[in-house]
Amino acid sequence: AWGVASGSLSPYWVVVGAAFLLGILGVLPIGGADMPVVISLLNSLSGVAAATAGFVIGNSALIIGGALVGAAGLILTMQMGEAMNRSLGNVLFSGFGGASTAGEMSDKPVNRATADDVAIALAYADRVVVVPGYGLAVAQAQHATRDLGEALEDRDVIVTYAIHPVAGRMPGHMNVLLAEADVPYEQLLDLDQSNPQFPQTDVVLIVGANDVVNPTARDEPDSPIYGMPILEVDEARTVVVVKRSLSPGFAGIDNPLFYFDKTMMLFADGKAAMEDILKALKEL
């Protein structure tokens, strides 16, 4: 109304600038682990904006379409919040994960492994569960991981993939990547399907996942991620973690899983590690 009354574009640019600052300042304090929830919320708000524009110009199709996008985005946002055991208000205003605690990493020793060590562990397993994470996406390791899985199946090893609902940047991120690599859909198991299998699993192969397998979410009430459902990989006989370093995940906290006696740490790029393991496996 101000712009129409003044006959100038200046008020418009003032509003645009204010919206720009509000968007940045509102999202900046939110930790990386919560960003998938925020992105989903912003997608929902884009539908609300479209519906509002439909009211302004009197376009029924725009109103209906915007309302559907807004409602679907809000439902997805709420479901993601439930998957992380966090309310929307807590995500937006708590500043969770905003400060990295990389300087507070544990100095305990880890069991460093080579590709040959991992190949031997996988070759003599009856059941292997692969847990993909954001590191797999960054390294574009989905095809190499699929190739390794097929090589294990040729050795009569049962291979499945445990998918956490908020692994990666968006819900379904890991499902899309593995589907792109032609991993059979029936091998992709969700959180509730995967957790009962871990006690009977010989080797869990974690490729770039961190917070979604952090046992502090289950065991330590003081942890920032306490209460978030996790993949309980620590119940398997052997855990192999493929990771570039011991740096914390999106939540900015250390993962005690890395220091367990049963855990083997393979420090490497995800794709290179999968290729090296596959090569070593074929030489056994």
Distance CA 253, CA 265 (A): 18
Cα 51 to Cα 62: distance, rounded to the nearest angstrom: 6
Cα dihedral 141, 147, 149, 154 in deg (nearest 10): -170
| C-alpha pair distances (Å), 197 with each of 91, 124, 175, 203 | 31, 18, 19, 11
- Is 34 tagged catalytic? no
Phi, psi of 264 (to 5 degrees): -110, 125
- Residues ≥6 apart with Cβ < 8 Å to 7: none
218 contacts 146 by C-beta, under 8 angstroms: no
Helical residues (DSSP H) of 7-59, grouped into ranges: 10-27, 35-57
Q: Could you report how far apart the first and last alpha carbons of the chain are, in Å?
A: 75
**Spatial strand order in the sheet of 127-132:** 188-189, 158-162, 127-132, 203-207, 238-243, 263-267
Token digits of residue 164: 């956490």
- The residue from 116, 117, 211, 222 that is catalytic is 211
Active site residues: 211
